[in-house]
Copies of this chain bind each other. A is one copy, B any other.
Amino acid sequence: MSLIDSPQSKQVKLFKSLERPKGRRESGLYALEGRRLIRQALEDGADLRWAYYCPDKFRSSEDQELLGRLLDRNLPTHEITERALRAMSHTETPSGWAAVADLPAWSVEDLPQERHTLYLGVYEWRDPGNLGTMVRTARALGAGACFSVGDSVDFFDPKVVRASAGAVVGLPLLELPAADALAAMLGKLGARLVVADMEAERDFDAAEYPDRCALLIGSEAHGLPEEIMRQADLEVRVPMPGGGESLNAAVAAGIIAYRVTRQFDSDE
C-alpha cells in the first residue's frame, strides 16, 4: 500500500465526510478512531473495511500487535502520515489509528425477544456525548437494543461512537422516525412502553416493570410529546432530593435502566 500523506487525498476526504450524516448515508460507512475502539470493534465482529495507521504515533507494543491482527485478517491497512491523519481526524488530538466499517442495517425483526428484555430508547437527543454514553450503558447492563425516536443525533456520528466506547458495534440500534414507528415496534416485539418524565408521579424505584420493557427517555430540553405519552403503559420519574435540580439525561437513563435490569434478575 502506498503512503497517504496529502490532506487533499481521496482517502482523507472520504474519511472526513463520515463526520456528517450525508457522508455516512451515501457511502454506507462509518468511522472509528483510536486503537482501543478499533480493537474492541474487531473483537465484537464489526464489518471493518479498512484501517489507517500512523507509525509516528505508535507508543506501545499494543500498536504492533493490533497491526498484526489486522494483517492476519487480510484487512486492507494504509500507512498514513501525521499530517494526513490530522486532516482527516474528527478529534483534536488524533491517536495513531483510524478505520472504516460498514453501517449495520438493523430491523425490528433482528431484535432479541427473550422473556426479560430491556430496549433502551431516547426521544430527540441532540447531544452526541449523551447518546453514546446511553448506548454504552445499554451494552454494559445487557440491554437487547437501543432505539431513538424523532430527530436525534444518529448512532454512527463519530462523537457518539467515541462516547459509546465501541458499544455501537454489535448492539442492535434502531432509528424510528416518529411515534407511529415506535407503536409498530412495540407491537412486533410485544413490548410495553415505559417513559421517564420529570413530571410523572410514580417514583421509578417503587415501580413494577414489564418483562419486555421499552424504556424511553425524553430530551432534557423538551421532555416527551403527547403522541408518545399516549402510548406509555407506565410513567416514572427519578426523585430529586436536591430540589428543582435535574439530572443529566444519560445519568437518569442509567439509574432507571439499572433498576429495570435488577428487577429482571430477581424475577428469574
Binding site for B on A (CB under 8 A): 129, 133, 136-137, 139-143, 163, 165, 167, 205, 238, 240-243, 245-248, 250-252, 254-255, 258, 261-262, 265
Contact = CB atoms under 8 A, between A and B. Distances in A.
- From A165, A246, A255, name the one whose CB has the most chain B CB atoms within 10 angstroms: A255
B241 A261 contact: yes
B133 A251 contact: yes
Contacts of A255: 254-255, 258
A140 B258 contact: no
Contacts of A167: 245
A247 B142 contact: no
Nearest to A43: B244
A241 B139 CA distance: 9
Which one of A139, A140, A142, A252 has the highest number of Cβ atoms from chain B below 10 Å of its Cβ? Answer: A140
30 contacts: A129-B129, A133-B248, A133-B250, A136-B245, A136-B246, A136-B247, A136-B248, A136-B251, A137-B248, A137-B251, A140-B240, A140-B241, A140-B246, A140-B247, A142-B240, A142-B241, A142-B242, A143-B242, A163-B248, A167-B245, A238-B258, A241-B261, A241-B265, A247-B254, A248-B250, A250-B251, A251-B254, A254-B254, A255-B255, A255-B258
A135 to B, nearest CB: 10
A116 to B, nearest CB: 10
Contact of A137 (B137, B139, B142, B247): B247
Contacts of A143: 242
Given A254-B254, A258-B255, A262-B205, A141 B242 contact: yes
Contacts of A247: 136-137, 140, 254
B136 A241 contact: no
A129 B246 CA distance: 16
Given A133-B251, A141-B241, A255-B255, 20 more contacts: A129-B129, A133-B248, A136-B247, A136-B248, A136-B251, A137-B251, A139-B242, A140-B240, A140-B246, A140-B247, A141-B240, A141-B242, A142-B240, A165-B248, A205-B262, A241-B261, A241-B265, A248-B254, A251-B251, A252-B254
Nearest to A163: B248
Contacts of A254: 247-248, 251-252, 254-255
The 3 tightest CB contacts between A and B, nearest first, are A142-B241, A251-B254, A142-B242
